[in-house]
Amino acid sequence: MNEDLVYLDNSACTRMDDRVLDAMKPYFFDTFAVATSEFAYTMGVEAKESLEKAREDIASALGCNSEELIFTSGGTESSNLAIKGIAEAKKNDGQHIIVSEIEDFPVLNSAKALEKKGFEVTYLDVDEDGFIDIKQLKDIIGENTILVSIQHANQEIGTLQDISRIGKICQDENVVFHSDASHTFTRVPLSVEDIPVDMVTISGHTIHGPRGIGGLFMREGTPLEKQMDGGFQENNLRAGVENIPGAVGFAKAVDLVSQDENERLEKMRDRLIDGLMDEVPHVTLNGPHEKRTPQNANLTFHYVEGESMTLHLDMQGFAVSTGSACFSRSLEASHVITGIGGDHERAHGSVRFTFGRYNEMDDVIATIEAVSETVAKLREISPLGEED
Amino acid sequence: MNEDLVYLDNSACTRMDDRVLDAMKPYFFDTFAVATSEFAYTMGVEAKESLEKAREDIASALGCNSEELIFTSGGTESSNLAIKGIAEAKKNDGQHIIVSEIEDFPVLNSAKALEKKGFEVTYLDVDEDGFIDIKQLKDIIGENTILVSIQHANQEIGTLQDISRIGKICQDENVVFHSDASHTFTRVPLSVEDIPVDMVTISGHTIHGPRGIGGLFMREGTPLEKQMDGGFQENNLRAGVENIPGAVGFAKAVDLVSQDENERLEKMRDRLIDGLMDEVPHVTLNGPHEKRTPQNANLTFHYVEGESMTLHLDMQGFAVSTGSACFSRSLEASHVITGIGGDHERAHGSVRFTFGRYNEMDDVIATIEAVSETVAKLREISPLGEED
């Protein structure tokens, strides 16, 4: 990595922390047995214990028992397992599923895959800040509803849903509630002791942990049909040789996140939002001012293309992302920005800045300056620009 | 790891090669972006290029185009995707699937999961060395058959099936042929240019590569229903943030295996088998003398329990595995040993020794001695022992 690069795409992937690798190393080179060999030899016992220690540490950060947490290959797999596993396990009780229209793709496309198989899916509208209408949710839950999946926070605009209230409603209606917390776990308080949520997706690479590892919290007694068949690993809910270095690295990454760090991210986020809204005309904040993840800022710079922005910023050493069409490869503008009522122009001009451990306030100041100049330049030459 | 430990369970998991970690490091700390950010900034382009370079290197070792190889979280996921993905894609053409009765659990239990959903599965018998009957396969393929999945080599007894002939039959009958090559990839020649196989499962951690990464070869034009929904990664066949460090480490692990190494493993294998059969009475070799993987030896020491063997050997610093009941956690004796006609006693007394890069011929000599002594001691005290 170029030392001068200001990397502001920490929600897509983060730089791994050196201490995470240090924690993983013994499991590459010293204790490399599979955990299921615990019945055969000492190294297997040590491997199994390390896996269970990692599980306990992460479970404790979530407020659950370690028996309620299984490891997967990442947030995508966790959400697939949750949505499809519940649907298959409960299909005789009903075939109606509710998700929000701005869920991340693993939830959204798992729901769509189930729709093709005959399930009925309701995609809840969100308001201009990305919040679902709790009353609408309550009205839509019916006899046939088996699952509600509403994310803890949005991947693009950082909106924090009120999962306590959502969970309470699902509990009252006896419907399983899953929440994708890939973008909040350790960053925003989330204890399943306090919040009546049945399943939670968590992920390691968003918090400077390793890639290829994630987790799924499943409250005791939640029915689930296994999706990955093979051996009896992970309480017979997810087959495959255990990724012990990954699990240990994930636990270390969880341990390294602190309240201080989250407050630092929040300060950078607010400074960036305030700075850009002050200095650049025709800017819209996507997502709410309050109730957003500490690490996320997302703004639309009207009359410019997000893709031009990312490319020009890249040339100046800033890595950011956009909700524009080509970027997402789906050939559609961000479903999140259009979901909150934005038109395609607003989606195309949106830029997401996400903060992590390796960003400094100086980066933020530099980013404000670079973005202001870039927007001004692009508007000068843009056919969309009203300044033309 | 205890420096003195003789680790002979390399088929379950191998010690990672230090050079694999060296290859992975830049993707933890320097080029850590997701590959889909290639449209936004330079680091994304570099990430994407590294992923594609890893894919090309592994594809070239398999003899396929890089477009025909997708990355997964491991061999288990690859086999699940192959079996279920084909079954869903071709269910209107037929619902009959053929596997061998000694397949590894990802294939076997994926087939069983499909059986529950209404597919018909034939579990082919194997002979006393673990070979399927090619004529029987030919007879059983019918109008309704959509998929044949026969492993390249067996996970417990190392038997190498004649996948060229099997592939030819499937090709003639116009049936998709999948083969689990987790235990042969790079160890036994396998080029999909020469062998008419449509899908191949490969894995990284069996050849001193990282855990949490595997691959699936899919011949161009093979229909497949995506199993992991989410983003458009991996040619829109497998969603999830790309595990680039894992892919790069996998490619490095592939590169590090040499013909010389495989011949070295073969020599250790043969020395162990010959030594034990010479020095220990009442021993049966499980699997064939010829046509077995270079790294696998599996023997039944009659009148002793495999579990007692593993524990006593562990105390002396030897890590091996057994096909005995408790070890497998399935509460059943090895389906492989019973599959080749062995009774439960033969399964319970079976011990698997698998060799890897970090074993030396001296280890083999020491193992022969330790096993001989242990078997003699156990038979002295064993209620099963005829010497009693």
Is residue A355 predicted with pLDDT exceeding 90? yes
pLDDT of residue A155: 95
Separation in Å, CA of B336 to nearest CA in chain A: 14
pLDDT of residue A149: 98
Residues of A in contact with B318 (CB under 8 A): 41
Lowest pLDDT segment from A17-31, A71-85, A369-383, B78-92: A369-383
Is A110's CB within 8 Å of B229's CB? yes
Is A229's CB within 8 Å of B44's CB? no
Domain membership flag for residue A31: yes
Instruction: Report the chain B residue with the minimal C-alpha distance to residue A231.
Output: B105
Helices (H) and strands (E) in chain A, counts: 14, 13
CA atoms within 13 A on the CB side of B15: 21
CA distances B109 to A117, A230, B153, B228, B353, Å, are 22, 5, 17, 18, 25
C-alpha torsion A327→A329→A333→A339, nearest 10: -110
Is residue B310 predicted with pLDDT exceeding 60? yes
Chosen for mutation from B22, B24, B37 (greatest number of chain A CBs closer than 10 Å) is: B37
Domain co-membership, B211 together with B301: no
Is residue B386 predicted with pLDDT exceeding 60? no
pLDDT single digits (tens) A305-337? 999 999 999 999 999 998 865 555 555 788 999
Active site residue B326: yes
Domain co-membership, A246 together with A276: no
Residue numbers of A annotated as active site: 326
Is residue A8 predicted with pLDDT exceeding 50? yes
CA distances A172 to A69, A84, A199, A339, Å, are 24, 23, 16, 28
Using 50, 70 and 90 to split pLDDT, how confident is the model at B67? Answer: very high
DSSP label of B222: -
DSSP label of B334: -
Using 50, 70 and 90 to split pLDDT, how confident is the model at B383? Answer: low
Is A21's CB within 8 Å of B18's CB? no
Residues of A in contact with B312 (CB under 8 A): none
Question: What string of DSSP letters covers B41-101?
Answer: -HHHHHHHHHHHHHHHHHHHHHTS-GGGEEEESSHHHHHHHHHHHHHHHHTTT--EEEEET
pLDDT of residue A326: 53
CATH of the domain at B198: 3.40.640.10
Using DSSP, state whether A180 is helix, strand or coil.
Answer: strand
For chain A, what is the largest distance between any 2 Cα atoms, rounded to a whole number of angstroms?
75
**In chain B, pLDDT over 90 holds for what percent of residues?**
88
What's the average model confidence in pLDDT over A124-138?
97
Is B268 or B330 the better-scoring residue by pLDDT?
A: B268
Buried b (16+ CB within 10 A) or exposed e, A58-88: bbebbebebebbbbbbbbbbbbbbbbbbbbb
pLDDT of residue A39: 82
The span from the CA of B220 to the CA of A166, in Å, is: 46
The span from the CA of B292 to the CA of B184, in Å, is: 10
Residues of A in contact with B227 (CB under 8 A): 80, 227
Instruction: Report the chain A residue with the minimal C-alpha distance to residue B24.
Output: A21
What's the average model confidence in pLDDT over B30-49?
92
Question: What average pLDDT is seen over chain A?
Answer: 94
Domain co-membership, B204 together with B104: yes
Domain co-membership, B85 together with B232: yes
Domain co-membership, A188 together with A107: yes
Separation in Å, CA of A316 to nearest CA in chain B: 10
pLDDT of residue A31: 96
Domain co-membership, A32 together with A99: yes
Domain membership flag for residue A1: no
Is B2 or A320 the better-scoring residue by pLDDT?
A: A320
Instruction: Report the chain A residue with the minimal C-alpha distance to residue B3.
Output: A30
pLDDT of residue A38: 85
Give residue B357's domain range: 258-381
Domain co-membership, B135 together with B193: yes
For chain A, the 3-state helix, strand and coil shares in percent, each to the nearest 5, are: 45, 15, 40
Is B25's CB within 8 Å of A30's CB? no
Residues of B in contact with A12 (CB under 8 A): 33-34, 36-37, 241
Q: Which of A204-208, B331-335, B344-348 has the highest mean pLDDT?
A: A204-208
Domain co-membership, A239 together with A374: no
pLDDT of residue B347: 87
Instruction: Report the chain A residue with the minimal C-alpha distance to residue B358.
Output: A29
Domain co-membership, B162 together with B49: yes
Domain co-membership, A119 together with A146: yes
What's the average model confidence in pLDDT over B91-99?
98
Is residue B165 predicted with pLDDT exceeding 70? yes
Is residue B385 predicted with pLDDT exceeding 60? no
The span from the CA of A201 to the CA of A179, in Å, is: 6
Domain co-membership, A241 together with A344: no
Pairs across A and B, CB distance < 8 A: 239
Domain membership flag for residue A125: yes
Domain membership flag for residue A9: no
Question: What average pLDDT is seen over chain B?
Answer: 94
pLDDT of residue A257: 98
pLDDT single digits (tens) B170-179? 999 999 999 9
Q: Which of A256, A272, A305 is the last residue of a domain?
A: A256
pLDDT single digits (tens) A234-248? 999 999 999 999 999
Is residue B21 predicted with pLDDT exceeding 50? yes
pLDDT single digits (tens) A164-201? 999 999 999 999 999 999 999 999 999 999 999 999 99
Domain membership flag for residue A155: yes
Residues of B in contact with A351 (CB under 8 A): none
User: DSSP E strands: which ranges in A141-268?
Assistant: 145-149, 176-180, 199-203, 214-218
Is B319's CB within 8 Å of A33's CB? yes
Contact status, residue A334 vs residue A326, Cβ threshold 8 Å: no
What's the average model confidence in pLDDT over A268-289?
97
pLDDT of residue B388: 39
Lowest pLDDT segment from A250-259, B222-231, B322-331: B322-331
pLDDT of residue A219: 98
Domain membership flag for residue B11: no
pLDDT of residue A330: 57
CATH of the domain at A322: 3.90.1150.10
Instruction: Report the chain B residue with the minimal C-alpha distance to residue A10.
Output: B33
pLDDT single digits (tens) B117-161? 999 999 999 999 999 999 999 999 999 999 999 999 999 999 999
Using 50, 70 and 90 to split pLDDT, how confident is the model at B40? Answer: confident
Contact status, residue B6 vs residue B268, Cβ threshold 8 Å: no
Contact status, residue B44 vs residue B38, Cβ threshold 8 Å: yes
Domain co-membership, B133 together with B159: yes
Q: How many Cβ atoms from other residues are within 10 Å of residue A263's Cβ?
A: 11
The span from the CA of B87 to the CA of B66, in Å, is: 24
The span from the CA of B21 to the CA of A24, in Å, is: 11
The span from the CA of B258 to the CA of B256, in Å, is: 6
pLDDT of residue A386: 52
Is B106's CB within 8 Å of A229's CB? yes
Q: Which of B236, B256, B276 is the last residue of a domain?
A: B256
**In chain B, pLDDT over 70 holds for what percent of residues?**
95
Nearest CB neighbour to A9, from listed B13, B33, B75:
B33
Is B241's CB within 8 Å of A211's CB? yes
Q: Which of A213, A240, A256 is the last residue of a domain?
A: A256
Is B43's CB within 8 Å of A319's CB? yes
If one counts the domains in chain A, the total is 2
